Structure 1
Amino acid sequence: MVSVRQGDIPALVAGLTFMIGGGLIIVATAINSNPTRVAGFIALTAGFAILAIDRYRRQKIPPDA
């Protein structure tokens, strides 16, 4: 079971928001709009980065007892 501390919620929300938003932009511009599609990929990548940085930060800091 995944344990989520209260301090982790903002990073999770931000990461998932960027990933969902980027995915929606990519799907919405599937016809032909390359600059907008690039923005979608940037947002998607930013979402992955936020979640990865948060996961790394949580590994470095031991959880409160």
Structure 2
Amino acid sequence: MSSPDVETIRGLIADWSRALEAKNTGHLLANYLPDVVLYDAIPPYKSVGVEAIRQIWEACMPSFFF
């Protein structure tokens, strides 16, 4: 991977981390494609679409303490 690619990926990870710490689901999901598929270890084991994943994040956000 080239250095610009590495820096882009690091920037995306940093943005996502800040969004998580701020409990900002809009920013967490900003780079997800509309038809994103999420596999999880807890039910529902498979979620499809940004709105479904938004609901999962919003349900678990109260569990995060930063």
TM over 0.5: no
- Which bin holds the TM-score, normalised by the shorter protein? 0.3 to 0.5
Greater fraction strand: 2
**Bigger radius of gyration:** 1
TM-score, scaled to structure 1: 0.39
User: RCO (CA 8 Å, sep 6+): is it higher in 1 or 2?
Assistant: 1
